[in-house]
Amino acid sequence: MGECSRQFRLVINNTAQAFPPIAGVYLITDQGDNLVERVRTALVGGVSALQYRAKDKSRETLLEEGRALKQLCKRAGVVFIVNDDIHLARELDADGVHLGQDDGGIAQAREILGSGRIVGKSTHDLDEAFQAEREGADYIGFGAMYPTDSKVVSHMPGTGGLAAIRDRIKLPVVAIGGITTSNACRVIDAGADAVAVISSVLSSHRPDIAVAELKLLFNRTCPYPRGSVLTVAGSDSGGGAGIQADIKTITLLGSYAASALTALTAQNTRGVSSIHGLPPSFVVDQIATVLADIPVDVIKTGMLHTAAIVSALAELLTERTVYIPLVIDPVMVSKGGTTLLDRDSIRVVLDQLLPHAYLLTPNIPEAERLLGRAIRSEADMEQAARDLHALGPANVLLKGGHLTGRQSIDILFDGYECREYAAERAFTSNTHGTGCTYASAIAAFLAQGEPLRCAVEKAKEYITDAIRLSHPLGKGHSPVNHFAAAQHGDRQP
């Protein structure tokens, strides 16, 4: 759970320092406008270190901008490092400096900055890495991994070069050069302790989400249970859906499950006989108490029951200073037809909660209620996914199980393109808990360090198997088979 990539304790001049380890997302500034505000947003996503890299700016501008960035980092508990300029680092009282191969020696930097400061060094091969280690660097930058537009790349050892030096270097390794959410997994798998990024974060419409996505990828190096998910949902006394299905799924797939109840239901496979909602203040207290202690990687919501609970949850998320990806399964109606979210609550979901969503996962009836129109074809689904995205979620997965046809097709829209996920349709009534299970599986795989597209693909395979391997249980809509699906193939952690 939480951050568990290779952990290093910085020891500078033989004195242990209070700096966090150089690990995770190492953000380097660009030359664009509104830098301070963009960095402010990025820090919310979970940046571990910020490197101030400025070109062609006056000394006055460097000091003003640098001081603003230093203050942001101090409040966020983020290491603040100046690129190349040792004297600027001293004037800004930076936590350290990062040196290129031609920017002076490590000993000189320590003499100017004084004791207790971090000094990093750019390297391109094993010899340079060994040299930096001998000279007393606290970490090395290594690359380039891929071509980049930020500078001319003359050395590109790539992930192969990184893997070759990883076990021979004791220092934290920051991989640099052309790293994005699309290729960062390969870099982390090759042994990077941190990834240096610029445009993939600072040019993003949502820098906080871009950072959070990269940060989660480092969980792929964790032992099991890998990553943690907080599910906020109603209880299903029959055990097939709701918070019970969430916890089963998250646990069986190898993540840690925490929970916050919104309502108690008396139900079985035939339907819901009664609902007892919990006070919104108690729902929020459950969530806040968990978040104050347990390092939650992803929050997943199911049945939220009332407008007051939805509003209270949205307010709590607004007040948080650290972004946690939120997967919203907009549970509205039970399999037996009982309304689980009234019309007033739907409006609050649209206005207050959807803008917080990392991923929204409606089925077709839910999407129709959110949009107020019918969805009858795959073309309708694609347009609906785009329209739902315009309401605020960063990503939308529209599930097509309610359409007819040989295949069940889901559509993921990330704001740029649509991607289809298809599976052979199983003609069975054993589908109780399908939506809860699918969304929880996605949340678990995200928490384990899978990129969104891969997380959805793996979750689609899991829910397809859970339906296919289900057995009749009870006299109504039987639940999916969480256990058998988790045992199938190579899913067992």
Residues with Cβ within 8 Å of 212's Cβ and at least 6 positions away in sequence, in order, are 45, 46, 323, 324, 325, 358
Distance between CA atoms of residues 348 and 443, nearest Å: 23
Active site residue 431: yes
Catalytic residue among 24, 120, 161, 435: 435
Residue 143 bears catalytic tag: no
* Bridge pairing between strands 407-413 and 395-398: antiparallel
Q: What are phi and psi of 148, to 5 degrees?
A: -145, 155
User: Coil, strand, or helix at residue 236?
Assistant: strand
Query: How far does CA 199 lie from the centroid of its chain?
Result: 18
Buried b (16+ CB within 10 A) or exposed e, 316-346: bbeeeeebbbbbbbbbbebbeeeebbeeebb
Distance CA 34, CA 52 (A): 14
| Whether 435 is catalytic | yes
Q: What is the CA radius of gyration of the chain?
A: 24
- Measured CA to CA, the distance from residue 329 to residue 332 in angstroms comes to 9
Q: Indicate the pairing of strand 359-360 with strand 96-99.
A: unpaired
Please indicate whether residue 436 is annotated as part of the active site: yes
Q: How far apart are CA 46 and CA 204, in angstroms?
A: 15
Q: Is the peptide bond before 109 cis (omega within 30 degrees of 0)?
A: no
CB 158 within 8 A of CB 147: no
Q: What is each CA distance from 228 to 208, 219, 232, 328, 416, in whole angstroms?
A: 19, 10, 13, 16, 28
Looking at 234, 242, 277, 436, which residue is catalytic? 436
Residue with tokens 């559509």: 411
Catalytic residue among 434, 437, 458, 460: 434
How many angstroms separate the Cα of 321 from the Cα of each of 27, 42, 333? 18, 11, 33
Catalytic, out of 24, 178, 238, 433 = 433
Give, for 401, the enclosing helix (H) or strand (E).
none
| 195: three-class secondary structure by DSSP | strand
Nearest by Cα to 220 from 419, 24, 481: 24
Q: Taking the alpha carbons of 311, 346, 216, 416 in that order, is the dihedral positive or negative?
A: negative
Between CA 19 and CA 101 the distance in angstroms is 24
Pairing of strands 139-143, 298-301: unpaired
Q: What is the DSSP string of 359-395?
A: EE--BHHHHHHHHTS---SHHHHHHHHHHHHTTS-SE
Q: 399, 400, 460, 464: which is the annotated catalytic residue?
A: 399
Catalytic residue among 41, 159, 361, 431: 431
- For residue 335, what are its two tokens? 């399999």
Residues labelled as active-site residues:
399, 431, 433-436
